[in-house]
């Protein structure tokens, strides 16, 4: 018979192996999928497109990034900027651009103290103003990686396609926080792109997303999620995307880059806001998204216990080493695919701590309900 202490350690070892198997499944089945993805050939057909950008007090970002959207290499498109109650110089700058770019359209929302609204309302105004069936969304603080961004995104639409999920990363800057933000956005992309490629689309990011205008109105806009602050991107995709009507676009020229949070407090608020939508996902998606970080936490926690008492340590170290090899290989391949640089070594450490960080931020939403009326 196995003594009590050894029995407990044996159970922990079994849990360690179980967590390792789950981790390898996620890394090899979902996260590696973007590396093997081959995009479709770009067709000569160029359907007219409407780009929609919602902006509130974004004069500086509009000045820096809007011209790159207006100067895309695409034959027929309009850019609709929804200037939502801005109190800076956005109006003046957009007025200047109207003279230079005839395909720019401005929809302005005037501030009304009796009517408060979130970003979804501004998004609705932009969609209502659009004259084309294909809608491509990005943010005021986003810059396309190339002049082929719009062409790459639009080329995926055919008679069966309603959604195209793009990659929206963050600009590379100095500092550990910037590396973590870029790792976090890349890891989320590995999840939603990898799962979409495995026929389980569950979300997209508003920094780089496209869908059909008719789909939006056919499903009564944002529907039952209209009262939620966030979710103009992920919840709409979660509710209506399927493996039949969804494609992904990750060619290098199709990426966008956004301005990252400048400090930890700002990043925390952004993450907390995004976590408010997770509970509205479909049950199957929530289960899949829960088991990855849970198994990762279990993997590292059980490893720490086993190695501290040297229980079956050659096997424990071997399993850890194999999982680490798979992780590094997948990260290296996908980072190259998504044009992310300088993250590989840091990603190994971020991988350990991110389940704890995200768990703390997620559960903090249950006791901290501030910021409900924030626009974004």
Of the candidates 290, 272, 292, 306, the one whose C-alpha atom is nearest the C-alpha of residue 374 is 272
For tokens 């709409």, the residue is 236
- CA proximity to 164, closest of 90, 256, 83, 71: 256
Query: pLDDT at residue 3 above 60?
Result: no
pLDDT at residue number 273: 85
The 10 Å CB-count burial string (b at 16+, else e) for 25-45 is ebbeebbbbbbeeeeeeeeee
Distance CA 83, CA 87 (A): 10
Average pLDDT over residues 133-152: 97
pLDDT tens by residue, 205-253: 999 999 999 999 999 998 888 878 788 889 999 999 999 999 999 999 9
Provide mean pLDDT across the span 96-124. 89
Residue 118: predicted pLDDT = 81
| pLDDT of the residue at 43 | 65
CA of residue 321 relative to chain centroid, distance: 29
Q: Which CATH number is associated with domain 41-277?
A: 3.90.550.10
Give residue-wise pLDDT tens across range 19-39. 999 999 999 999 999 999 988
Predicted pLDDT at 272: 87
Closest by Cα among 152, 150, 193, 147 to 169: 193
Q: What is the pTM of this model?
A: 0.92
At residue 366, the pLDDT reads: 65
pLDDT band (50, 70, 90) for residue 371? very low
| Share of residues in the chain with pLDDT > 90 (%) | 80
Q: Each residue of 94-107: pLDDT tens digit?
A: 999 999 999 999 99
Token pair listed for 199: 């026929």
pLDDT by residue (tens digit) across 305-362? 999 999 999 999 999 999 999 999 999 999 999 999 999 999 999 999 999 998 888 8
- The backbone region for 81, taken as left when phi is positive above 0, alpha when psi lies in -120 to 50, beta otherwise, is beta
User: Tell me, what's the pLDDT at 228?
Assistant: 82
pLDDT of 1 strictly over 50:
no
pLDDT at residue number 236 = 95
User: Encoding tokens for residue 341?
Assistant: 């640089």
The string of DSSP letters for 156-204 reads: T--TT--EEEE-EEE---SSHHHHHHHHHHHHHHHHHHHHHHTT-----
- C-alpha dist (Å) from residue 33 to 236, 256, 293, 330: 23, 20, 19, 9
pLDDT at position 362: 83
| Per-residue pLDDT at 45 exceeds 80 | no
| pLDDT tier, 155 (very low <50, low <70, confident <90, very high otherwise) | very high
Name the residue ranges covered by the structural domains of the chain: 12-34+284-364, 41-277
* DSSP-assigned beta bridge partners for residue 257: 143, 169
Residue 253 gets which letter from DSSP?
Answer: G
What integer pLDDT is reported at residue 72 of this predicted model?
97
pLDDT, one tens digit per residue, over 160-215 is 999 999 999 999 999 999 999 999 999 999 999 999 999 999 999 999 999 999 99
Q: Which residue has the tokens 């922990």?
A: 12
Q: Are 87 and 57 in contact (CB under 8 A)?
A: yes
Q: 217 CB contacts (<8 Å, ≥6 apart)?
A: none
Q: Which residues of 257-274 are buried (b: 16+ CB within 10 A; e: fewer)?
A: bbbbbeeeeebebbbbbb
Q: Is the pLDDT of residue 5 over 80?
A: no
Q: How far is Cα 75 from Cα 72, in angstroms, rounded to an integer?
A: 9
- Tell me the per-residue pLDDT of 260-308, one tens digit each, with 9 for 90 and over: 998 999 999 988 888 889 889 999 999 999 999 999 999 999 999 999 9
């Amino acid at each position: 018979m196995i003594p009590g202490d050894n029995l407990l350690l044996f159970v922990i070892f079994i849990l360690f192996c179980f967590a390792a198997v789950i981790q390898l499944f996620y890394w090899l089945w979902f996260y590696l999928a973007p590396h093997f993805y081959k995009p479709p050939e770009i067709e000569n057909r160029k359907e007219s497109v409407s780009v929609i950008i919602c902006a509130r007090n974004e004069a500086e970002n509009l000045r820096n990034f809007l011209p790159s959207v207006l100067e895309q290499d695409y034959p027929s498109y309009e850019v609709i900027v929804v200037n939502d109650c801005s109190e800076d110089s956005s109006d003046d700058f957009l007025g200047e651009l109207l003279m230079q770019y005839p395909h720019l359209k401005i929809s302005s929302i005037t501030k009304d103290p009796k009517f408060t609204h979130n970003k979804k309302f501004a998004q609705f105004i932009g969609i209502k103003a659009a004259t084309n069936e294909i809608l491509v969304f990005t943010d005021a603080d986003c810059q396309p990686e190339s002049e082929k961004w719009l062409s790459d995104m639009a080329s995926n639409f055919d008679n069966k396609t309603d959604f195209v999920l793009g990659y929206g990363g963050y600009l590379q800057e100095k500092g550990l926080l910037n590396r973590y933000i870029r790792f976090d956005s890349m890891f989320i992309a590995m999840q939603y792109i990898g799962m979409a490629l495995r026929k389980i689309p569950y979300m997209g990011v508003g920094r780089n997303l496209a869908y059909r205008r008719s789909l939006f109105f056919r499903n009564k806009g944002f529907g039952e999620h209209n009262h939620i602050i966030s979710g103009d991107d992920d919840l709409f995709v979660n509710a209506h995307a399927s493996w039949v009507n969804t494609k992904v676009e990750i060619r290098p020229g199709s990426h966008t880059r956004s301005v990252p949070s400048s400090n930890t407090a700002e990043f925390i608020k952004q993450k907390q806001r995004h976590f408010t939508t997770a509970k509205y996902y479909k049950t199957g998606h929530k289960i899949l998204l829960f088991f990855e970080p849970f198994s990762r936490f279990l993997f590292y926690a059980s490893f720490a216990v086993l190695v501290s008492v040297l229980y079956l340590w050659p096997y424990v170290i071997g399993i850890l080493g194999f999982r680490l090899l798979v992780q590094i290989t997948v990260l290296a391949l996908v980072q190259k695919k998504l044009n992310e640089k300088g993250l590989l070594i840091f990603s190994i450490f971020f991988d350990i701590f991110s389940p704890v960080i995200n768990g703390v931020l997620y559960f903090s939403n249950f006791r901290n309900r501030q910021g409900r009326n924030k626009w974004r």
